Amino acid sequence: MKRARVAYAGAVHEALAHADGLQLADGRVLAEDQVVWLPPVEPLGTILALGLNYADHAKELAKELTTSAKDEPLVFLKGPNTLIGHRGQTRRPHGVGFMHYECELAVVIGRHAKNVPRSDAMACIAGYTVANDYAIRDYLENYYRPNLRVKNRDGCTALGPWLVDAADVPEPGALALSTRVNGKLVQHGNTRDLVTGIAELIEYLSSFMTLAPGDVILTGTPEGVVDVRPGDEVVCEIEDIGRLVNTIVGDDAFGH
Averaged pLDDT, 127-150? 83
Q: Do 41-254 and 1-38 have the same topology in CATH?
A: no
Alpha carbon distance 155, 81 (integer Å): 7
Encode 8-32: b = buried (16+ Cβ within 10 Å), e = exposed: eeeeebebeeeeeebbbeeeeebeb
CA distance 227 to 158: 17
Give domain limits for the chain. 1-38, 41-254
With beta carbons less than 8 A apart as the criterion, state whether 153 and 90 touch.
no
pLDDT, averaged across the chain: 92
CATH of domain 1-38: 2.30.30.370
The reported pTM is 0.92
Q: How far is CA 254 from the centre of its chain?
A: 23
Residue 59 has pLDDT above 70, yes or no: no
Tell me phi and psi for residue 254, to 5 degrees.
Answer: -105, 0
Handedness of CA 140, 142, 147, 149 (dihedral sign): negative
Question: For the domain bounded by 41-254, which CATH number is listed?
Answer: 3.90.850.10
Looking at the predicted structure, is the pLDDT value of residue 40 above 80? yes
